[in-house]
Structure 1
Amino acid sequence: MQTQILGLVTPLMALFFAATFAVFWRAGRMRWHVLGFAISYVLFASGFLITHFLPGDAFYLFHATQAFYSLGVTLFLASVCERVGQRIHLGSLAIVYVTSALVLGLTVSLSDDVGPRLVIVNIGYGAMFAMGVTTLLAAQRRNLFDVAIIAVMAFQAADFFIRPTLTLLFEQSIPAAVYRDSIYYSLIGLVLGVKSIATAMVLIGATIAEWAITLRERSERDVLTGLRNRGSFEESMQNIFPRAQAEGYPLSLVVADIDHFKQVNDIWGHQAGDQAITGIGELIGNTVRGCDTAGRIGGEEFCIAVWNCENDPAHRLAERIRQAFAILKHPGLSDNIRLTASFGVATARDGESYEQLFARA
């Protein structure tokens, strides 16, 4: 009875962590990788429960647990890599799984000893985690949590490679019928529990940090357009202008204003005006580069700081946005009505402040 209860500790912890990540994802409206953490922990818990409740000598025991563990590891690694803008090669993970499954099937048919089976499946998991580590090392971002996640992943890989071999040195052979009474089974419950907690704590810390950053960014974003609000935009200019001048990069401003916007509100209503603002905001956000900074600085007024850009290409950028907005349909207006916007462009001169450049633009 005590063994049965202890065997449930690890899957119950995994389900608790799954629920925690699901709450973070839902409440914080976070990116899909957080939901991926939740689903992967559900798959891990399912694998634990299958191992615990299926007959120890069932020929399909290792196949079933390997399928759930492998799915969980794959989703887990994909989520961890997506978090830092990397994509793990799913084809390579599939090759590892298929190879391990084929060798496992051959081993099950040839011997009742679970020792070789343990080595095969664990080496497969170790190879998967090693792929995850190499993918994470290629990422550009590297804060404290990123380093901690890489360290945890490296520990996971090392454990899967080393633990089965060391354990089998003591037990030599483990018949399937007594698998749950073996030293290995007792050890794996403890090790998996510790690894599950350690990994979850690191990921929870990283998720909370991401949540805090997301909340801060949302406070700096305009609700209708998703661009920076005026305060955030002008604050960023206090950093961008000195940097451009110090590093010798040209910096241009593009200022845009929807024409006759008061008439839009008066004739079609403020909801139609909001939809027009949303339309040009999305258009600007989809057109500018990642190194540029765009914001809504007034009711219908927008500004783009174009990094490392002279006046002529900045003018062409403004013209592309102007032409695209002139043919854009707006849900709140009549089908035959189109809006236009006026644009100003200016490139910073030596020693010029943001206020001076904005006035020229």
Structure 2
Amino acid sequence: MTAAFVLAINMFIAGIFAVAFGVVAATDPTTRGARWLAVGYATGIVSIPLEFLVPYQVNPAPVTIAIFLVFLLALTFCLVGIAKHYAAAVPWMAITAIWVASVLAVPLTFNLSYGSLPRGLLYQFPYFAMHVLVGLVILRARRRQPLDLLLFTLNGAAALLYLSKPLIAWIVGTAATPQGYMTTTYAALSQSIGSVTLVALALVLLLVMMRDTAAEMAARSETDALSGILNRRGFDLHAERMLARAERADEPLTLVTADIDHFKRINDKFGHAAGDATIAHVAKLLCEPVTGDALVSRLGGEEFAVLLAGATLADGRGYAERVRARLAADPPVHLGVDQIVTASFGVAQVTRGDTLFDLARRADAALYRAKAGGRNRVSLALGELSSAPCGSLQQFAAPNRPAPGFLSTDRESSLLLS
């Protein structure tokens, strides 16, 4: 297989991937970096026809220099595309340094004896450096999924292959002049290596983008557009998993449900825009005091649910009290609501054998009691008091009387547990 044939294949493959990345960029504008990768692979195509021109040049230097710089530009576009996709900072200073050094070294590189080891090293080193930057970008993104590790490994292999090409040329031999390059065994080996790395890296990059696009679509389907937190679908999906983990690990798990008090009055008095802003404001307050593993969701309308992993009933009450106090402290005038906004909360801790429905039912029962008891308060599912540490509960209750929201009679206790 001659180098010319492999070059033609490489041009065809590069064109396919340029179109593929272009289609990804056109169909999903949120796919960061695809446009840069499309331009990178398209730019790489330009260097291939230039290779076919070299044998017909009396002075091949201008064309060979153009090949060198065009391919370096193609790698630069690909580096920027990968950085954009991984939402990492583009290493512009390092890129600039590589370009400045490469351009300044052009007179020395292309005046050295063709086929010599020093010339080969100077020619290939900028390509090696670009791949090193790609590896650093992937590392800094701190993604450790199998495809990311595979991309990092393949990129490292490509970098080493560029650095090894001068040694391969020295071992197998190459032409005495650039015009004879296409007829050498080294050219066939070099272009074959390039073809393999081209296909491997492009395929893995496409798989990474498909994976991330699918994950982003799933996240959008599970996210409430107004508040930015989980919607009911997302909550149910992740809460079931969290409940199963808690059961396996025999760890506490507490559900806090919340409902904005008199929300219809806010909409009627201040308008739906102010009502929407209030919902987003409450969602933000629910997220701020969360530590550790937790799910914060808007179940619909003005109803919210927060599932706290590793939290006891007392922890859940403390969390709910902090949110309730912050919400009731000041009227959100900046949202267009010139009155105090309050919310009521119900708290329930999972017990052995609970389903998500069981836990939600008890938390909702406590929430209804809070609303029936005057709103702007936190109520606990009473049947769980014995399962929570007494000392931790006492810090939320005033001495010599039940804490607000606690139910004390047998009749009330049976209502919560029914």
Instruction: Tell me the equivalent position of 1:340.
Output: 341
Instruction: Tell me the equivalent position of 1:301.
Output: 303
Which blocks of at least 5 consecutive residues in structure 2 are unaligned?
367-378, 380-418
CA contact (8 A) 1:306 1:314 kept: no
- Structure of greater Rg: 2
Instruction: Tell me the equivalent position of 1:64.
Output: 69
Alignment of 1:232-311 (within 5 A): 232-244=234-246, 247=249, 251-266=253-268, 273-274=275-276, 276-278=278-280, 280-281=282-283, 291-308=293-310, 310-311=315-316
Name the TM-score, length of structure 1 as normaliser: 0.74
Larger mean Cα displacement after TM superposition, 144-153 or 41-50: 41-50
> Relative to 1, partners in 2 of residues 1:231 and 1:177: Cα closer, same or farther, differing over 3 Å?
closer
SS in 2 for 1:207: helix
> Relative to 1, partners in 2 of residues 1:34 and 1:227: Cα closer, same or farther, differing over 3 Å?
farther
> Relative to 1, partners in 2 of residues 1:280 and 1:168: Cα closer, same or farther, differing over 3 Å?
farther
Larger mean Cα displacement after TM superposition, 264-273 or 229-238: 264-273
Instruction: Tell me the equivalent position of 2:373.
Output: none
> Relative to 1, partners in 2 of residues 1:52 and 1:319: Cα closer, same or farther, differing over 3 Å?
farther
Which blocks of at least 5 consecutive residues in structure 1 are unaligned?
none
Of 153, 158, 164 in structure 1, the residue corresponding to residue 166 of structure 2 is 164
> Relative to 1, partners in 2 of residues 1:336 and 1:214: Cα closer, same or farther, differing over 3 Å?
closer
Question: In 1, distance between residues paired with 2:250 and 2:286?
Answer: 26
Say whether 1:32 aligns with 2:49: no
SS in 2 for 1:344: strand
Larger mean Cα displacement after TM superposition, 67-76 or 308-317: 308-317
Instruction: Tell me the equivalent position of 2:80.
Output: 75
> Relative to 1, partners in 2 of residues 1:279 and 1:189: Cα closer, same or farther, differing over 3 Å?
farther
CA contact (8 A) 2:279 2:302 kept: yes
Instruction: Tell me the equivalent position of 2:20.
Output: 20
* Identity between Structure 1 and Structure 2 (%): 21
Instruction: Tell me the equivalent position of 1:153.
Output: 155
Question: In 1, distance between residues paired with 2:172 and 2:5?
Answer: 26
SS in 2 for 1:225: coil
Alignment of 1:110-189 (within 5 A): 110-111=111-112, 113=114, 115=116, 116-130=118-132, 132-133=134-135, 136=138, 141-172=143-174, 174-180=176-182, 182-189=184-191
SS in 2 for 1:224: coil
CA contact (8 A) 1:133 1:150 kept: yes
> Relative to 1, partners in 2 of residues 1:107 and 1:144: Cα closer, same or farther, differing over 3 Å?
closer
Question: In 1, distance between residues paired with 2:272 and 2:149?
Answer: 49
Aligned amino acid, residue 327 of structure 1: P
SS in 1 for 2:300: coil
Aligned amino acid, residue 20 of structure 1: A
Alignment of 1:79-118 (within 5 A): 79=84, 82=86, 91-92=93-94, 95-108=97-110, 110-111=111-112, 113=114, 115=116, 116-118=118-120
Question: In 2, distance between residues paired with 1:283 and 1:121?
Answer: 57
Tell me how many residue pairs correspond in the alignment: 352
Aligned-residue CA RMSD in angstroms?
4.2
The higher relative CO (CA closer than 8 Å, separation ≥ 6) is in: 1
Compute the displacement of 1:300 (Å): 1.4
Question: In 2, distance between residues paired with 1:233 and 1:274?
Answer: 20
Compute the displacement of 1:233 (Å): 0.8
Compute the displacement of 1:154 (Å): 3.0
